């Protein structure tokens, strides 16, 4: 039997989730959507990925209700927004295990300026995990010097989910 690209026969809900967000590039597209990237051309320049692959991944995300297409823009749905703990958790895991250079971006509670903990809560304010809309993205110690419009916009603090002006 040929190995398919899906996990037929796996009834675990993790396998079903991976069919939607587990392909190469997909979580980076979702991450960029949290950063406020909405236009095809902006995903393309920031991710440096093949146009056809981006097109296919965006279609999959829209088909499964992670992104909604509004005119020429792709916007996270409620299901998409609820992926934030996954994106943030994986980024923290990467930093802890493979992050010799330090994080590329810091996620900061906008109300108080404190970097959120790996569990998503604010060490200063406490309480429930901070919602994405209440976070700012700050350049981290390993922030690159890429010259595309999205990278440039993210060199200064940027409120998460606010459209990137390019």
Query: Residues interacting with Zn ion, by CB under 5 A?
Result: 109, 112, 114, 122, 124-125
Least CB distance to Zn ion at residue 61 (A): 30
Least CB distance to Zn ion at residue 124 (A): 4
Least CB distance to Zn ion at residue 92 (A): 17
* CB crowding 75-109: b at 16 or more within 10 Å, else e: bbeeebbebbeebbeebbeebeeebeeebbbbbbb
Contact 150, 45 (CB under 8 A): yes
| Closer residue to Zn ion in complex, CB, 41/121 | 121
| Closer residue to Zn ion in complex, CB, 8/124 | 124
Least CB distance to Zn ion at residue 93 (A): 22
| Closer residue to Zn ion in complex, CB, 71/126 | 126
13-21 helix and 26-35 helix, angle to the nearest 10 degrees: 70
Rounded distance between C-alpha atoms, residue 99 and residue 88, angstroms: 14
Least CB distance to Zn ion at residue 134 (A): 8
| Closer residue to Zn ion in complex, CB, 28/117 | 117
* 134's tokens: 């209440």
| Closer residue to Zn ion in complex, CB, 14/112 | 112
Rounded distance between C-alpha atoms, residue 5 and residue 19, angstroms: 8
SS3 annotation, 142-154: CCCCCCCHHHHHC
């Amino acid at each position: 039997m040929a190995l398919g690209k899906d996990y037929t026969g796996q009834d675990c809900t993790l396998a079903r989730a991976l069919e939607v967000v587990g392909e190469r590039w997909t979580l980076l597209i979702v991450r960029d959507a949290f950063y406020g990237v909405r236009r095809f051309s902006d995903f393309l320049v920031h991710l440096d990925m093949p146009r056809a692959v981006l097109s296919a991944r965006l279609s999959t995300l829209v088909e499964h209700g992670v992104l909604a297409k509004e005119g020429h823009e792709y916007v996270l749905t409620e299901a998409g927004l609820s992926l934030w703990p996954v994106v943030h958790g994986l980024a923290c895991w990467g930093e802890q295990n493979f992050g010799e250079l330090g994080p590329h971006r810091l996620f900061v509670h906008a109300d108080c300026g404190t970097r959120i903990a790996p569990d998503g809560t604010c060490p200063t304010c406490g309480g429930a995990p901070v919602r994405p809309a209440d976070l700012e993205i700050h350049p981290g110690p390993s922030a690159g010097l890429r010259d595309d419009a999205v990278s440039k916009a993210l060199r200064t603090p940027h409120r998460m989910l606010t459209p990137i002006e390019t």
